[in-house]
Amino acid sequence: MASGLAVALAGGGAAAYRLSVNGGAGAAAAPGDSTGIPLQLRGNLPERYLALIALDSGGPRGGLRNLVNRVHASAEPGASVGFALGAAFFGPRASLPRPRQLRAMPHFAGDLLEPSMSHGDLLVHVVGNKAAAIQKTVERIRNTDSAHWTIRWHIDGSRPDNRVEDGRSLARNPFHFTEGFGNPDTERESLDLALIPSDQNEPQWAVGGSYQVVRIIRFATDLWDKDSVGEQERIVGRQRDGRWLDGTPVDEQPNFAADPTGRITPLDSHVRLAAPDRRNPPPIVRRSYSYNKGNGDKGIIFSCFQRDLAQGFEAVQNRLEGEAMAKYLLTTGGGYFFVPPHGDGWIDALSYSG
């Protein structure tokens, strides 16, 4: 298997504004106030369970508001729903104000994207801390009667050992490693990295939203488990619990410059390629989940949020080409999406009858 595992920056972000109910700019947000924050980025600790449902539109976008209302009505107690837009939603209509960077996710080195598990017009994000509530919500969404919307793909995920340590949300992936140390340690810092500010030359309705990348990455766990723990740690560039290979504490940044030949932390290890300067980490916020479809198909639903795709995910992904971990990974689906700001202002801006 081969692939890279992907793990702006003008001022602004949540520190500069609070979004009102209709998605417009409002007063400054109070600490801990998530009123104007998109569901996908609220809080430092993601919910334990996730379902992603990608929908395609077979007709006019005039039914968007009705669909959104029906999906919200489908949510069971204990489950919440959010939305993100794919490039195909906007179609060829130049008059529709689309986010500047939104396009179909390209193939990267080693990808084997399945069309039936990639892209989509609208991505429904279902989260909660009870698996049963997620399952019931997904069933109700699947049974929603819509003349114009059909399900393109669906995947379920969970976060084993989901927890917060020193402000960072951590979980264990199918390779038995703890991940999440690269994220900012406060919600404010995360939102400053992820949310579109008013001076980024995006459509007005998109201010306060975020670019989301989803990558469904299959892990070759049988092959991985044949390696010793020491070899696995050299491939990743960290110990399983997150400690650095050179002895640097987990909450500090190692000095890779002091190891120029990669004797301690290999030059082709995942963390060294993803963020060669640990003091300037990639401007993305990761919120990933593990999946297990059975029959050996398990891996992660990698998800990250950013203001700028080129400076965020794509810069990391390009650096990861040729990493030692590549032979254990295969990206089979996902896509680029845009998470609209909180409220329904985006529906007013994007609904049309043609």
Predicted confidence at residue 32, as pLDDT, reads 39
Per-residue confidence band for 39, with pLDDT thresholds at 50, 70 and 90: very high
Predicted confidence (pLDDT) per residue in 109-129, tens digit: 999 999 999 999 999 999 999
Local structure of residue 40 (DSSP, 8 states): G
Per-residue confidence band for 77, with pLDDT thresholds at 50, 70 and 90: very high
Q: How far is CA 281 from CA 146, 149, 337, in A?
A: 43, 39, 22
Predicted confidence at residue 17, as pLDDT, reads 34
Mean model confidence pLDDT for the chain: 88
Q: Which residue has the higher pLDDT, 19 or 130?
A: 130
pLDDT of 10 above 50? no
DSSP 86-121: EHHHHTT-TTS---TT--PPPP-TT----GGGB--S
Predicted confidence at residue 353, as pLDDT, reads 42
Stretch among 30-34, 90-94, 201-205, 302-306 having the lowest mean pLDDT: 30-34
What span, in angstroms and rounded, lies between the C-alpha atoms of 85 and 72? 16
User: Which secondary-structure segment (H or E) carries 27?
Assistant: none
Helix (H, G, I), strand (E, B) or coil at 204: helix
Per-residue confidence band for 21, with pLDDT thresholds at 50, 70 and 90: very low
Predicted confidence (pLDDT) per residue in 265-318, tens digit: 999 999 999 999 888 899 999 999 999 999 999 999 999 999 999 999 999 999
The arithmetic mean of pLDDT across residues 73-91, rounded, is 95
pLDDT of 2 above 90? no
What residues have CB less than 8 Å from 159, skipping those under 6 apart? 46, 47, 48, 49, 50, 171, 289, 290
Predicted confidence (pLDDT) per residue in 227-239, tens digit: 999 999 999 999 9
Predicted confidence (pLDDT) per residue in 98-109, tens digit: 999 999 999 999
What span, in angstroms and rounded, lies between the C-alpha atoms of 205 and 207? 6
Q: Which residue has the higher pLDDT, 253 or 80?
A: 80
What span, in angstroms and rounded, lies between the C-alpha atoms of 204 and 191? 18
Per-residue confidence band for 241, with pLDDT thresholds at 50, 70 and 90: very high
Predicted confidence (pLDDT) per residue in 254-268, tens digit: 999 999 999 999 999
Phi/psi region, residue 190 (left: phi>0; alpha: psi -120 to 50; beta: rest), is alpha
Which amino acid makes up residue 116? S
